[in-house]
């Protein structure tokens, strides 16, 4: 019996799905298959490793190279990357714009990272802003936002949003607000602002496909902040109410708009919050272990069943 026939028998018996059969059969027949995702991941990792190596070289040999050589080298690389992007970028459009070629997105990402490395080097060596170094972070976030929208790149948009989150933390540390409660409130404010801005830009028709990136980041930040508030005893009931409201919104929206990730967010973070409330009043270690095992299994099975249902519906 040939391999394809065995695969067909397995599919007919339900041992493998149709999608699995198609994938394996293509490999057996030596047909072409897409490695686009894997190749993209490797290219992004390549850019990260290149910049990391660049940073290591600067840190190790800056005394021999000198400030002028390092800054000229970084500026030349940055200028070349930006020239490549601007010279090949398509015209601006509020709608989705495809990259002109496969290398474009990685050159843009390289430019952003090189800019960050050069800015960090300048401040480390010359301390131009000193105590106001948080403006470097804010300035970087603004430039990343501009680059993300101009070149229609969601990966750079994620970089911009994470840099903005860093600015929130740096700003609070600069003012001495470093308590758990103040950081939690800052995270909630950040999540609300990111989600609100993303929704507003989408309603204006500006890069509507960016909305999901905003919502993913906003949802995780809000969930983490609320769950941390639930776990701590002081005022946890207020955070618990907010968490439950966000769980309902996340799961309902995920089901309504066919976005399974938000169903998972609501389920997992909601489970953590509810479990912390239940276990708070359970002092027997055996009962706690039994609850975690049973409830955790139920949650995992539920997510798997939901994932299969979403896969069938799509």
Confidence of residue 38 (pLDDT cuts 50, 70, 90): low
CA 287 vs. chain centroid, Å, equals 36
Task: Find the range with the poorest average confidence among 22-31, 267-276, 279-288.
Answer: 22-31
Confidence of residue 260 (pLDDT cuts 50, 70, 90): confident
Residue ranges of E strands in 48-100: none
Per residue in 220-245, pLDDT tens?
A: 999 998 998 888 765 578 889 999 99
Q: Is the pLDDT of residue 172 over 70?
A: no
**Interacting residues of 182 by C-beta distance below 8 A, sequence separation 6+:** 172
Query: How many angstroms separate the most distant Cα atoms in the chain?
Result: 74
Instruction: Return the percentage of the chain with pLDDT > 70, whole number.
Output: 84
Write out 254-293 in H/E/C secondary structure: HHHCCCHHHHHHHHHHHHHHHHHHHHHCCCCHHHHHHHHH
**Whole-angstrom distance, CA of residue 288 vs CA of residue 224:** 23
CB 121 within 8 A of CB 58: yes
pLDDT at 176 over 50: no
For residues 17-28, one letter each, b for 16 or more C-beta atoms within 10 angstroms of the residue's C-beta and e for the rest, the string is eeeebeebeeee
Which pLDDT value is given to residue 144?
94
Query: Which residues, 6+ apart, have CB-to-CB distance to 56 below 8 Å?
Result: none
Angle, helices 36-65 vs 67-88, to 10°: value is 150
Whose CA is closest to 247, among 273, 274, 270? 270
**Residue 74 tokens, joined:** 């970084």
Residue 314 has pLDDT above 60, yes or no: no
Highest average pLDDT, of 3-7, 14-18, 37-41, 303-307, comes from 303-307
Q: How confident is the model at residue 63 (pLDDT cuts 50, 70, 90)?
A: low
In a 10 Å sphere around its CB, with 0-12 CB exposed, 13-18 middle and 19+ buried, how is residue 223 labelled? buried
Provide the pLDDT confidence category of residue 282 given band limits of 50, 70 and 90. Answer: confident
**178 has a pLDDT exceeding 50:** no
Residue 174 in this model has a pLDDT that exceeds 50? no
Is residue 179 pLDDT above 70, yes or no? no
pLDDT at 244: 93
3-state secondary structure of 252: helix
CA distance 290 to 296: 10
Query: In which region does residue 128 sit, left (phi positive, over 0), alpha (psi from -120 to 50) or beta (all else)?
Result: alpha
Concatenated DSSP letters for 14-26? Answer: TSS-HHHHHHHHH
At 194, the pLDDT band (50, 70, 90 cuts) reads: very high
Reading the block at residue 24, the tokens are 């394996």
Confidence of residue 9 (pLDDT cuts 50, 70, 90): confident
pLDDT for res 223:
94
Rounded Cα–Cα distance for residues 45 and 48 (Å): 5
Dihedral over Cα of 303, 307, 309, 314: its sign: positive
Among 90-94, 160-164, 166-170, name the one with the lowest average pLDDT. Answer: 166-170
Q: Rounded CA gap, 120 and 118, in Å?
A: 5
CB 203 within 8 A of CB 216: no
* Higher pLDDT among residues 14 and 145, named by residue: 145
């Amino acid at each position: 019996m040939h391999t394809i026939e065995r695969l067909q028998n397995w599919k007919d018996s339900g041992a493998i799905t149709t999608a699995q059969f198609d994938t394996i059969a293509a490999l057996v027949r030596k047909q072409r298959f897409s490695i686009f995702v894997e190749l993209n991941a490797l290219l992004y990792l390549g850019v990260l490793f290149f910049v990391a190596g660049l940073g290591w070289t600067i840190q190790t040999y800056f005394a021999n190279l000198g400030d002028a050589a390092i800054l000229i080298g970084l500026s030349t690389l940055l200028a070349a990357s930006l020239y490549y992007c601007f010279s090949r970028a398509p015209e601006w459009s509020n709608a989705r714009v495809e990259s002109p070629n496969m290398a474009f997105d990685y050159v843009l990402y390289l430019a952003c990272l090189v800019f960050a490395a050069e800015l960090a080097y300048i401040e480390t060596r010359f301390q131009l802003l000193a105590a106001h170094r948080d403006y470097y972070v804010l300035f970087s976030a603004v430039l990343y936002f501009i680059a993300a929208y101009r070149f229609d790149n969601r990966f750079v948009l994620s970089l911009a949003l994470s840099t903005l989150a860093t600015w929130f933390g740096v700003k609070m540390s600069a003012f001495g607000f470093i308590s758990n409660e103040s950081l939690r409130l800052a995270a909630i404010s950040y999540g609300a602002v990111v989600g609100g801005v993303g929704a507003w830009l989408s309603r204006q028709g500006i890069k509507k496909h960016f909305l999901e990136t905003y919502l993913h980041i906003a949802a995780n930040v809000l969930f983490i902040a609320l769950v941390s508030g639930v776990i701590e005893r002081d005022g946890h009931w207020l955070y618990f109410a907010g968490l439950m409201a966000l769980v309902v919104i996340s799961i309902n929206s995920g089901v309504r708009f066919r976005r399974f990730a938000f169903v998972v967010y609501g389920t997992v973070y909601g489970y953590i919050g509810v479990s912390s409330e239940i276990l708070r009043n359970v002092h027997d270690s055996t009962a706690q272990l039994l609850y975690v095992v049973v409830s955790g299994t139920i949650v995992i099975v539920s997510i798997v069943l939901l994932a299969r249902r979403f896969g069938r519906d799509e």
